[in-house]
Structure 1
Amino acid sequence: MQATSVRPATAPEPGQAPARAQPRITIIGIGNSLMTDDGAGVHVAAALNQMGLDEQVRILDGGTLSFTLLDEVEDSEFLIIADAAELHSQPGTVQLFQDQEMDTYLGSSNRPSVHEVNLMDVLTAARIRGRMPTRHALVGIQPQSIGWGTEPSATVARAVDEAAGIIAQLVAETLAATREEQLRTSIVREAKT
């Protein structure tokens, strides 16, 4: 299974190095889009693509997840995953897990994965190789039903929009913090000269 780019990051001009003014943010929506609510993460990625996020943000349809996504994970400074998740909550509940909280959730989840490999396997491989993203987050959506069909239930469809909004806010906050830090660094550098 090859990851499909919903919207690739802007490539540098030939012969030029890519600009590194912004953190590498990768959003991967995972799930089986042929299995109703299991495809929630893929639908979130599509919704984010429609929002027109910063062009430096890479949005991928990760499908049913496989180790082919390892390079994308390892090349990120901030990795955001959207997926259907067992939250033991009402269908359509959206929950954000960041950094250690995400690791704890994934480590305690003992349900079998319907994906080729589970997310923890991919993150563990990145850690072993010393290339785990500095920041990582999971936006999980409690499914209502998983069966054959290309559209999520109405409850999960509404949750897809909520999840996309949460991710867009995370991206905006991250980019704003980066710009503030760059401004402070520039001011300090100018003050020293």
Structure 2
Amino acid sequence: MAEVRQERAVGEASVSRPTSAVGTTVIIGCGNLLRGDDAIGPLLIRELFEEGYGDSVVLVDGGTAGMDIAFKMRGASKVIMVDACRTDAPPGTVYRVPGQELEHLPDVRSFQSHTFRWDHALAFARWLLDDGEYPAEVGVYLVAVDELGFGDELSTRARRAIAQLKLLIKREIGVVEDVTASLSASGCLHLPLRLTTIADRRAVSVGARLEYGVLDLFLLVGEVAGRPLKVIDSDGTLGVELGDLVGVRHEQTTLSGINDRERGSLHFVVEGEHAGASGDRP
């Protein structure tokens, strides 16, 4: 985060697989793990890494490094950066800023190793790399934060932002498809039949979790305990009862989310007073 970077040191960046960024999408999370909500970027990278991606995606824990980031970008087709920021917006607010708006190189005489930040790295990479080496697209996600003391715990608002950033980034890099579902007043989630097909078999139940504003559904096949799916409309629409998990609403709600077919899971953003609850999972 720009206002606290003076405590950061260069050289903390590390890369997951693969080691070459040529032709790939590079996702870089910046931040200080010791300063509360400033850890959003690195923690996001860790969660994405645990889920696993193919060789077309490089995950970089940028830590508090600056200049190193410029070299991690070389040859990538797309770069996505994530960091915390100070703004007047409520903590947890997520912004997406085009990279070209942050590529203005400051006076080089002002550079010191401990003040060289990722935004300087963008400008440095634009100056350093040939046209064929600089990414065709650079986007930056910034999250408004306010809890930055050394040793502070990550706030609930920051955890919610991480959960929603995962959805935004997966949608942006094209590993999932957009979906919508409807949540009835009684807490029954209506799903299109096509979403429940896994490897030409029908899911018969789901595991469900609501945490930090994201509803995760894990489609289950065979004799596995879960919430049963049932046909609720003549057009084949399926429903799953989630009333105890999401709470009873007074009117039907449309949920926007993603379908991760490779992992057999659906993820929806849930607003409102119940969005931070936690639930069961297979």
Distance (Å, rounded) in 2 between the aligned partners of 1:27 and 1:149: 26
Match for residue 123 of structure 2? 124
Match for residue 29 of structure 1? 29
Distance (Å, rounded) in 1 between the aligned partners of 2:171 and 2:98: 14
Matched residues, number:
154
- Whether the aligned pair in 2 keeps the contact of 1:86 and 1:143 (CA below 8 Å) is yes
Distance (Å, rounded) in 1 between the aligned partners of 2:27 and 2:96: 14
List, as ranges, runs of 4+ consecutive aligned residues in structure 1 with deviation greater than 6 Å.
none
Distance 1:95 1:3, change over 3 A: same
Partner amino acid for 2:36? Answer: T
Distance (Å, rounded) in 1 between the aligned partners of 2:156 and 2:119: 29
Partner amino acid for 2:134? Answer: M
Stretches of structure 1 that go unaligned for 5 or more consecutive residues are 12-17, 108-114, 175-193
Distance (Å, rounded) in 1 between the aligned partners of 2:14 and 2:19: 16
What TM-score, normalized by structure 1, do the two folds share? 0.70
Write 1 or 2 for the structure with the bigger share of strand: 2
Match for residue 158 of structure 1? 160
Q: How far does the alpha carbon of each residue in 1:20-52 deviate from its partner, in whole angstroms, 9 at most, with x for none?
A: 7xx311111000011111111111111211232
Greater CA radius of gyration, 1 or 2? 2
- Whether the aligned pair in 2 keeps the contact of 1:28 and 1:60 (CA below 8 Å) is yes
Task: Give runs of aligned pairs for residues 37-186 of structure 1, distance below 5 A.
Answer: 37-100=37-100, 103=101, 116-129=115-128, 130=130, 131-149=133-151, 151-172=153-174
Distance 1:150 1:86, change over 3 A: closer
Counterpart secondary structure, 2:125:
helix
The structure showing larger relative contact order (alpha-carbon pairs under 8 Å, at least 6 residues apart) is 1
Write 1 or 2 for the structure with the bigger share of helix: 1
What TM-score, normalized by structure 2, do the two folds share? 0.49
Counterpart secondary structure, 2:174:
helix
Distance (Å, rounded) in 2 between the aligned partners of 1:120 and 1:126: 10
Distance 1:54 1:96, change over 3 A: farther
Counterpart secondary structure, 2:97:
strand
- Whether the aligned pair in 2 keeps the contact of 1:10 and 1:56 (CA below 8 Å) is no
- Whether the aligned pair in 2 keeps the contact of 1:37 and 1:84 (CA below 8 Å) is yes
- Whether the aligned pair in 2 keeps the contact of 1:48 and 1:168 (CA below 8 Å) is no
- Whether the aligned pair in 1 keeps the contact of 2:31 and 2:63 (CA below 8 Å) is yes
| RMSD (CA atoms) | 2.5
Partner amino acid for 2:89? Answer: S
- Whether the aligned pair in 2 keeps the contact of 1:64 and 1:116 (CA below 8 Å) is no
Distance (Å, rounded) in 1 between the aligned partners of 2:152 and 2:63: 13
